[in-house]
């Protein structure tokens, strides 16, 4: 998996651009409302979603498996702590955070990895802290494509395995971790005008 993301990273960053996702912008407003001051961002990539928090006075710490992504973040002025490693190896420090934001990552993990990741994130939240995950849903156009590995879990292309959430599976995975609400959002492909938006679920939990 690491090799796949490293090999295609430069192409992907060109496609994604540097504008934050709509989910990150909405989360920034939510974090401001809840007086969140410091945020952990697992899967920070090259920082396009982190910047919207930083620019609004929120301290950010990242986790990123791709050294290429971290180097690109540094080249673009992202001078924040970023742990180089996989989210499956959390925790990387013993700090607790006011908030956690994780975009489009949890669906790339298998069942055991998802369970550990959710628990690890929850453990790094301060009391009354919030963690927000965005994940592709079963309404996304990729659902059901490729080789089925398990219920709602597919290898949609060589080396890319993806789990597709719905309301039931969100409740199953998050009900013991302070699940507050789930909502739906269509994320536009901002730098690929001919591509349709991808349907995401936003999952909000409070400790």
Confidence of residue 193 (pLDDT cuts 50, 70, 90): low
Q: What is the pLDDT of residue 12?
A: 46
Does residue 1 surpass a pLDDT of 60? no
Element (H, E) at 76: none
pLDDT tens per residue across span 66-76: 998 899 899 88
Least confident of 79-88, 109-118, 196-205: 196-205
Strands (E), the chain: 38-42, 59-64, 82-84, 97-103, 125-136, 147-150, 153-157, 160-163, 179-187, 198-206
Give the integer Cα–Cα distance in Å for 108 and 143.
13
Give the integer Cα–Cα distance in Å for 51 and 47.
6
Instruction: Give counts: helices (H), strands (E), the chain.
Output: 6, 10
Give the domain extent around 29. Answer: 2-206
Does residue 31 surpass a pLDDT of 90? yes
**Interval 33-62 mean pLDDT:** 94
CATH number at residue 178: 3.40.50.150
Strand pairing report for 82-84 and 97-103: unpaired
Number of separate domains in the chain: 1
**Which two three-digit tokens encode residue 160?**
């890319």
pLDDT tens per residue across span 100-109: 999 999 999 9
What predicted TM-score, i.e. pTM, was given to this entire model? 0.88
State the DSSP string of 137-169. BTTSTTTT-SEEEETTEEEEETTEEEE-B-HHH
pLDDT tens per residue across span 133-187: 999 999 888 888 988 999 998 899 888 899 999 999 999 999 999 999 999 887 6
């Amino acid at each position: 998996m690491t090799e796949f993301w490293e090999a295609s990273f430069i192409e992907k960053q060109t496609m994604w651009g540097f504008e934050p996702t709509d989910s990150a912008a909405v989360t920034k407003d939510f974090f401001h409302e809840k007086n969140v001051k410091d945020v952990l961002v697992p899967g920070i990539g090259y920082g396009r979603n982190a910047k919207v928090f930083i620019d609004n006075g929120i301290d950010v710490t990242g986790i990123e498996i791709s050294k290429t992504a971290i180097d690109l973040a540094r080249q673009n002025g992202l001078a924040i702590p970023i742990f180089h490693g996989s989210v499956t190896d959390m925790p990387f420090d013993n700090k607790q955070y006011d908030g956690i934001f994780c975009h489009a990552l949890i669906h790339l993990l298998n069942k055991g990895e998802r369970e550990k990741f959710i628990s690890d994130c929850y453990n790094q939240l301060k009391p009354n802290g919030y963690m927000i995950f965005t994940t592709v849903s079963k309404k996304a156009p990729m659902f059901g494509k490729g080789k089925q590995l398990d219920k709602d879990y597919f290898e949609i292309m060589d080396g890319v395995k993806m789990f597709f959430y719905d309301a039931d599976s969100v409740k199953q995975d998050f009900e013991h971790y302070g699940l507050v609400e789930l909502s739906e959002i269509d994320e536009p492909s901002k730098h690929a005008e001919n591509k349709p938006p991808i349907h995401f679920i936003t999952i909000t939990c409070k400790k």
